[in-house]
């Protein structure tokens, strides 16, 4: 089946630094990618929808200047957490959609971000 | 807005036991319903889905029936195996291309 690669799987950084997370669709082109965030024992919360070649659409309450999303090609989207703080510590998951419906939606394995 | 509520885990069962993981939802219109599974170290994978009321999704021995009257989509399996140990997410999507709304996930631990 289709594979989505997400890196890194785990990152620890100091407060104030920026962290970039990559999401790649390895064997298909993804015009749309989604970024989710999950706190312990809570739902995956949609942060933003990323369409190739255009600006990401952010969900209400998500700071676009804090969470920079770039979807420059059909196989790569990146999420950069800028000036990270401890409250940004969370589990981040990307997903890539093959085609136009949610029938073929593939997920990365997630990134655990810990900000000290 | 849309929301999904799952039973809190972990659920611990012995091999060959019967499994039920409850999922209820709130949504406008007629959502499609999904169960995803996440094995350790891997991404979420679609396990099964149902797109309209009374549909039954099934895969790998798992089943779930779309119950509009109770707004539920409970996951069941008659005889679990150790290899079924994973985190299970219930999710829904509305019409069109909207992203999925997920539940909080339920961890299943199956002991030999």
> Mean pLDDT of all residues in chain B?
92
Flag if B97 and A100 touch (Cβ within 8 Å).
yes
What is the C-alpha separation between A35 and A30, in angstroms, rounded?
13
Selected residue of B25, B36, B43 to mutate for chain A interface (largest A Cβ count, 10 A): B43
For A38-95, the DSSP string reads: E-TTS-EEEEEEEETTSPPEEPTT--TTTEEEEEEETTEEEEEE-S--GGG-EEEEEE
Flag if A49 and B99 touch (Cβ within 8 Å).
yes
Flag if A102 and B93 touch (Cβ within 8 Å).
yes
Q: Give yes or no for residue B96 having a pLDDT over 80.
A: no
pLDDT in tens, B27-46: 888 899 999 999 987 888 89
Q: Residue B74's pLDDT is what?
A: 98
Flag if B43 and A105 touch (Cβ within 8 Å).
no
Flag if A44 and B89 touch (Cβ within 8 Å).
yes
Q: For chain B, what is the total number of helices (H) and then of strands (E)?
A: 0, 12
Contacts of B34 in chain A (CB under 8 A): 102
Contacts of A9 in chain B (CB under 8 A): 41
3-state secondary structure of A20: strand
Confirm or reject contact between A95 and chain B (CB < 8 A).
yes
Query: Between vectors from CA A115 to CA A113 and to CA B3, what angle results, nearest 5°?
Result: 50
| Min Cα separation B2/chain A (Å) | 12
pLDDT higher for B98 or B76? B76
What is the C-alpha separation between A55 and A50, in angstroms, rounded?
7
pLDDT higher for A51 or B81? B81
Q: Give yes or no for residue B9 having a pLDDT over 70.
A: yes
Determine contact, residues A1/A105, Cβ cutoff 8 Å.
no
Confirm or reject contact between B83 and chain A (CB < 8 A).
no
Confirm or reject contact between B31 and chain A (CB < 8 A).
no
């Amino acid at each position: 089946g289709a594979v989505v690669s997400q890196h890194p799987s785990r990152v620890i950084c100091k407060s104030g630094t920026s962290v970039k997370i990559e999401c790649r669709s390895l064997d298909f082109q993804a015009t749309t990618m989604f970024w989710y965030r999950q706190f312990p024992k809570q739902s995956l919360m949609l942060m933003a929808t990323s369409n190739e070649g255009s600006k990401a659409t952010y969900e209400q309450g998500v700071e676009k200047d804090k969470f920079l999303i770039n979807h420059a090609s059909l196989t790569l989207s990146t999420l950069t957490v800028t000036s990270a703080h401890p409250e940004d510590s969370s589990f981040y998951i990307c997903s890539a959609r093959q085609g136009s419906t949610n029938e073929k939606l593939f997920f990365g394995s997630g990134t655990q971000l810990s900000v000290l | 807005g849309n929301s999904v509520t799952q039973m809190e885990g972990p659920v611990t069962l012995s091999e060959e036991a019967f499994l039920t993981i409850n999922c209820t939802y709130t949504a406008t219109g007629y959502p499609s319903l999904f169960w995803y599974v996440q094995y350790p170290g891997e991404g979420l994978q679609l396990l099964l889905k149902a797109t309209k009321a009374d549909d039954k999704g099934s895969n790998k021995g798992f089943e779930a029936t779309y119950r509009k009257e109770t707004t539920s989509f409970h996951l069941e399996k008659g005889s679990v195996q150790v290899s079924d140990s994973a985190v299970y997410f219930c999710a829904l999507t509305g019409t069109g291309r909207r992203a999925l709304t997920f539940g909080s996930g339920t961890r299943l631990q199956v002991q030999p």
